[in-house]
Amino acid sequence: MKYYIIAGEASGDLHGSNLIKQLKQQDPEADIRCWGGDLMQQAGGTLVKHYKTLAFMGFIEVVMNLRTVLRNMEFCKNDIQAYQPDVLVFIDYAGFNLRIAEWAKPLGYKTVFYISPQVWAWKENRVKKIKKCVDKMLCILPFEQDFYNKWNYEVEYVGHPLIEVIKEAKEQPAEPLSDKPVIALLPGSRRQEISVKLPIMLTMAKHFPEYQFMVAQAPSLDDEFIQGLIGAHTNVSTVKGKTYPLLRQAKAALVTSGTATLETALFGVPEVVCYKGSTISYFFAKRLIKVKYISLVNLIMDKLVVKELIQDELTEQNLLKELTLLLKDDAARNRLKTDYAALWTKLGEKNASRRAAEVIYKEAVNAVS
């Protein structure tokens, strides 16, 4: 069977790589063409576009790069038509992927979304479009099934793919990264978000000289850019491609919003969630986004488990207060430990990648039969 997979971010590359491995288990003759990253390529996909050329964060950033986005979309449509896949698989990356699905469905392509767009957070009316152009929706968050049910749209909850990934990572030999206790900094993978948030995170280095602050550097980012932000800090270093070994050793973490907040929690690391976008992007987001929290941890648990410092709240003073609490307050750490255990249980161990691959393979078979 021929599979065309589109992922537009680092997290999508991770989940896409595990999906590709499982698809090859289901279908040894699988021919897979993909948008994603190094991990999907290493898993056996033929890489068409790398996510580092695709990821634009926020409303104003997308508008500024609209010409590039439109060119990519046109290229994608032409590439799909040339390849003629049996099934199209969309991994999150909603703004782009839903437009491709809307174009593809009337042309007769089988469409599967693995990792639902966060329509429950904003643009809830997008569900109407999803019902028309997505043959199968595979959800990874437990509350998403109930959300779609109220729209009379049947979806399948396959479990969260991070469970299997992190479970495997915890079984690997520990890799010490520093002789000093470590605080992890996970500032994201996009240059524009890192340039805003990382300098604020780095102010903590002077307050905790006894710790080694380690920046998880995305593979797509050049060393010169990160080192330029680190500057003269003597107790700050970087690691590339070693985020999980870093989290296994970290005593605490400062994490940008997104999948990394959930990864950090599943490793059991106390964290502060840090978000700060451009003023214009945040202005629009605040008026459109309907959820109570920005962290996946808090959304899944439906309560404030990890502290969120958003926009103007993300200051050196506030960050110092919250990080001190995580490092010095045993009661706070114990509360987090209990909540993290409940989070793991709530997500369950369903082997999401395998279940998703089974559904996608079945859809591909149905498409040609």
Alpha helices in the chain (DSSP H): 10-26, 38-42, 59-64, 66-83, 94-104, 126-133, 144-149, 161-170, 191-202, 223-230, 243-249, 259-266, 279-288, 296-301, 316-328, 330-347, 352-368
Per-residue pLDDT tens digits for 275-314: 887 555 554 455 445 568 889 999 999 999 999 999 899 9
**Is the CA virtual torsion 150, 156, 162, 164 positive or negative?**
positive
Each residue of 125-142: pLDDT tens digit? Answer: 789 999 999 999 999 998
d(CA 131, CA 303): 30
Q: How confident is the model at residue 52 (pLDDT cuts 50, 70, 90)?
A: confident
C-alpha angle with apex 319: 346 to 252, nearest 5 degrees?
50
User: Using CA atoms, how far apart are residues 37 and 127, in angstroms rounded to an integer?
Assistant: 28
20-33 mean pLDDT = 96
**pLDDT tens column, 128-181:** 999 999 999 999 998 999 899 999 999 999 999 999 999 999 998 888 899 999
Q: Tokens 């470590």 identify what position?
A: 182
Round to whole Å and give the CA distance between 242 and 238: 10
Burial of 339 (0-12, 13-18, 19+ CB in 10 A): middle
Q: What is the dihedral of CA 191, 194, 195, 196, to 10 degrees?
A: 130
Both tokens of residue 210? 């006894």
Sketch out the chain's domains with CATH numbers. 2-159+350-368 (3.40.50.2000), 167-347 (3.40.50.2000)
Q: Which two tokens stand for residue 299?
A: 């959304």
Residues 6+ apart with CB under 8 A from 152: none
